[in-house]
Amino acid sequence: MTYEPTKVDVDWMRKLVASLNLHGVWGYKDAPILFQKTGERSMTLISAPVGDPHVEEQIERNKVVMRRAGIEFEDGRIAK
């Protein structure tokens, strides 16, 4: 997938993460994807179905936007 976020996308993500309290949760209204703020500049994917191509594409796009915004992304669905 080749996805180039706009400046608006990146600025929006920075503002979103800044507005969340530590451990605050953000998710999509139209998709079962949830992220949790785990640090001042880090977000963890805490819930999303595995194997749904539409959901996986949305997650990948968010990873790109977060990376461009200087926000660390972690996939919390992966067992450590």
Per-residue model confidence as pLDDT tens digits over 49-76: 888 899 999 999 999 999 999 999 999 9
Give the whole-angstrom CA distance, residue 26 versus residue 34. Answer: 6
Contact 79, 22 (CB under 8 A): no
pLDDT of 79 reads 53
Q: pTM for this one?
A: 0.87
Domain ranges in the chain are 7-75
Give the whole-angstrom CA distance, residue 37 versus residue 42. Answer: 6
DSSP string, 40-70: TTEEEEEE--SS-HHHHHHHHHHHHHHHHTT
Residue 1 scores a pLDDT above 80 = no
